[in-house]
Structures are given as C-alpha cells and as structure tokens.
Amino acid sequence: MNRNEDLYCAESEKSVAQFVADFAALVKKNDFVVNNSETMDMKSTFREHGGNVPDEFDLHMMQVCKPTKADGSLTNNPERAIFMPKFVMVFSKDGKTQIRYLSFQASDIAAFVLDDPKFAESVGQTFVKIRSMIDEAK
C-alpha cells in the first residue's frame, strides 16, 4: 500500500452538501448507489447514538456500491468482501470541501485475494471509476 497512490485527496469550492448531492447524482448515473444515504451524515448518526459533536461538524461517509456487480462477485468468493466497501469521505476544512478516498492498486488486491486475478483487475477498475466520478463532481 502506498499513501501517494492509494489515498486520493481532492478539494472542491462547492459546499459539502452540494458536493454530496452532485456526487450522488453521478453515482446513480453510472449505475452505482450510495448504500448508506440515510446514515452518511455523521453528525446526525453520532447524535442519534448519543454522540456529542458540534453543529459545524459536517463529515459525510458515503458508501459507494454497485450491487449488480457485487452480488455475483461476493457470491463467487466472499474473501473479496474486504475490498468491497468503498467509502468516499467528504468534510470541510479551512473553508473548503475536502474529499478523501482510499483505493488500492490491482497488484495490492491480487496480493490479498489469491488466485483471482480477474477480481483484482475488475475492482481496480472500479476504484479508478470512483476517482473519476469524484473529479467530475468537484
């Protein structure tokens, strides 16, 4: 794993709410879903469970999934599940919207899911697609 290659950092002039809405629309357009729409606003989620965060706390943890691809993949090999949750983190810092996304290279995936090179290539392509959707939304 390599921080410079695997941690994608982006910035947007849009508000967190606007980026989240625009990104969610792109996700849908590309046949993905935001799997946790109701719970991605961490301020609300933390408060619902007794957490204490300030009003200006605005972290959104967006879980991106492509159910029509993941269903067959995980049915075929549940070992793959460790690479399936893809979270895009969106928050504000210093007056700008920050986006963080942790992805992996195909070689990293192949090292963990042995004897399954097609999966490493396929999920690697998904990581690239999510990065491109982030770029388009910002």
pLDDT in tens, the chain (138 residues): 667 778 999 999 999 999 999 999 999 999 999 999 899 999 999 999 999 999 999 999 999 999 988 898 889 888 888 888 799 999 999 989 999 999 888 888 888 888 777 888 888 889 899 999 999 999
Would you call 75 exposed, middle or buried from its count of C-beta atoms within 10 A (0-12, 13-18, 19+)? exposed
Q: Which of 96, 85, 86 is nearest to 18 (CA)?
A: 96
The confidence score (pLDDT) of residue 1 equals: 62
Domain of 124, in residue numbers: 3-137
**Are 59 and 89 spatial neighbours (Cβ–Cβ below 8 Å)?**
yes
Q: CA 62, CA 124: separation in Å to the nearest integer?
A: 19
The confidence score (pLDDT) of residue 9 equals: 96
The confidence score (pLDDT) of residue 76 equals: 86
Distance of CA 18 to CAs 14, 103, 134, Å? 6, 23, 13
Tokens of 66: 């492509």
How many residues would you count in the chain?
138
**Are 108 and 124 spatial neighbours (Cβ–Cβ below 8 Å)?**
no
How does pLDDT run across 38-62, given as a tens digit for each residue? 999 999 999 999 999 999 999 999 9
Count: domains in the chain: 1
Q: What CATH number did the domain enclosing 109 receive?
A: 3.30.310.70
